[in-house]
Amino acid sequence: MTTASAIQAQFPPSQGQFPGRQGFPANEQGPPEFQELNLSDDQKDKLKEIQEDSRAQIEEILTDEQRNTVQKAVQAGKKPPEAIRSINLSDEQKQKMQEVMESEKQKISEVLTSEQQEKLRNRIEKMQNNRSPRS
């Protein structure tokens, strides 16, 4: 999974520089990848905390100008991965983001049951296969 797709998968908009909802609404189980996992309320709370922590770390990696550019792009209707791709991250920023995403992935796997992990892997794979090729 690329950094951009990982951000899309793991970072629904919340408070902070990137506008949008905070956490999971009562009738939702978070990002599309988490739906159909039958998450318990405790799992939802833990996943929300993990995502908020990762989001804060990513916001720290970006410069003020990059955060503002991403925020404006998201407000204009771009999806976060598309907005992030447009800011020309340095190699160091890409590496730091990858580290945050790997840490988040590990923390998420500790919250989910093995059955939920398998469903999540299948769901992400299916979503990636359904995406049109990027030019």
CA 127 – CA 81 distance, rounded (Å): 15
Residues 6 or more apart whose Cβ sits within 8 Å of residue 79: 8
Prediction pTM value? 0.68
pLDDT tens string 10-66: 444 443 444 443 343 444 446 667 778 889 999 999 999 999 999 899 889 999 999
pLDDT at 135: 47
The one-character DSSP state at 132 is P
pLDDT tens string 83-101: 888 898 999 999 999 999 9
pLDDT at 82: 85
CB-CB contact of 3 with 104 (8 Å): no
**For the chain, what are the domain ranges?**
37-129
